[in-house]
Amino acid sequence: MQFENILVEKKDNIAIVTINRPKVLNALSTKTFLELAEAFGALRDDASVAVVILTGAGERAFVAGADISEFSTFTPDDARNYGRLGWRTMLLIEKLGKPVIGAINGFALGGGLELAMSCTFRYAADNAKMGQPEVNLGLTPGFGGTQRLPRLVGKGRALEMLLTGKPIDATTAEKIGLVNKVVPQAELLAECEKTAKTIAAKAPIAIRYCIEAANSGLNMSLEEAFEFEAGVFGLAFSTEDFREGIKAFSEKREAKFKGK
């Protein structure tokens, strides 16, 4: 896949998507969103890809925010449509059916943090800074920040970040559960690839069901979520991967899953 603003690379069954606008700290333009949607749509349908890593080009930023240069001509309707493009692209990433690991290699601000939060989970470089500074521009987050951030770190911490606009460092982000792990910047991509390889060796259907159950259950009552989980648990019993997993367990060997 060839794009102007992003790069897509494959390493065996792992895909690495890099937002490639380092001169503007990988800012999210309309075209970048459209390319991300096209790339992730293709990766979703590519059976050879088990896990995706999403990162930014250069050493300074994952994504430093939306492309403010586009805002000067926006009407309120334009802004609303831009927000819809953003959150729909991020929802595609969140519901890809395959794990997407966010590799936060620097600034993740505004739309950049919103993009990172749409990933399945996040690892951060030790120099990373994260925040939702939209109030400094007289704006609110437009791509899901007011919704995903409270779900990840709790309402109080989320509102503190949203209302002050102050960024937090990687250590604080790990402490409050915004990122899973902090590593030296030079080791970030390798650490993400290591985890991606571990996940890629598991049963693809079971991985998809786990993601679907976790995402869906957040919008249900606990009893409804338990019932949903029981449903996918039952479906997993119908797969060839389940039979292979049980057989491999009894034979004391590594399972060879085929995603069937």
- For residue 62, the model assigns a pLDDT of 97
Task: Characterise 163 by phi-psi region: left (phi > 0), alpha (psi -120 to 50), beta (else).
Answer: alpha
Rounded to an integer, what distance in angstroms lies between the CA atom of residue 211 and that of residue 93?
12
> What is the chain's alpha carbon radius of gyration, rounded to the nearest angstrom?
19
Rounded to an integer, what distance in angstroms lies between the CA atom of residue 229 and that of residue 222?
10
**Spatial CB neighbours of 101, under 8 Å, sequence gap ≥ 6:** 51, 52, 53, 54, 119, 120, 121, 122, 123, 192, 195, 196
Nearest residue to 131 via CA among 119, 149, 113, 143: 113
**CB of 11 closer than 8 Å to CB of 46:** no
**In this structure, which amino acid lies at residue 208?**
R
**Encoding tokens for residue 37?**
């949607």
**CB of 30 closer than 8 Å to CB of 82:** yes
- The verdict on whether 187 is a catalytic residue reads no
**In this structure, which amino acid lies at residue 178?**
L
Q: What is the DSSP string of 27-88?
A: -B-HHHHHHHHHHHHHHHH-TT--EEEEEESSSSEEE--B-GGGGGG--HHHHHHHHHHHHH
Rounded to an integer, what distance in angstroms lies between the CA atom of residue 38 and that of residue 228?
30
- For residue 238, the model assigns a pLDDT of 94
Cα 104 versus chain centre, distance:
10
**CB of 34 closer than 8 Å to CB of 67:** no
Three-state SS for 102-117 is: EEECCEEECHHHHHHH
- The verdict on whether 134 is a catalytic residue reads yes
**Which one of 35, 94, 114, 244 is the catalytic residue?**
114
Neighbouring C-beta atoms of residue 173, cutoff 10 Å: 26
Domains, the chain, with CATH or none: 6-200 (3.90.226.10), 204-250 (1.10.12.10)
Tens-digit pLDDT profile for the chain (260 aa)?
A: 789 999 999 999 999 999 999 999 999 999 999 999 999 999 999 999 999 999 999 999 999 998 888 888 899 999 999 999 999 999 999 999 999 999 999 999 999 999 999 999 999 999 999 999 999 999 999 999 999 999 999 999 999 999 999 999 999 999 999 999 999 999 999 999 999 999 999 999 999 999 999 999 999 999 999 999 999 999 999 999 999 899 889 999 888 998 88
User: Which helix (H) or strand (E) segment is 159 a member of?
Assistant: helix 155-164
- For residue 134, the model assigns a pLDDT of 96
Nearest residue to 178 via CA among 157, 152, 154: 152
Instruction: Give the pTM.
Output: 0.95
Q: Is 52 helix (H, G, I), strand (E, B) or coil?
A: strand
- For residue 72, the model assigns a pLDDT of 84
Nearest residue to 212 via CA among 77, 98, 60: 98
**Which one of 134, 174, 193, 229 is the catalytic residue?**
134
Rounded to an integer, what distance in angstroms lies between the CA atom of residue 230 and that of residue 99?
21
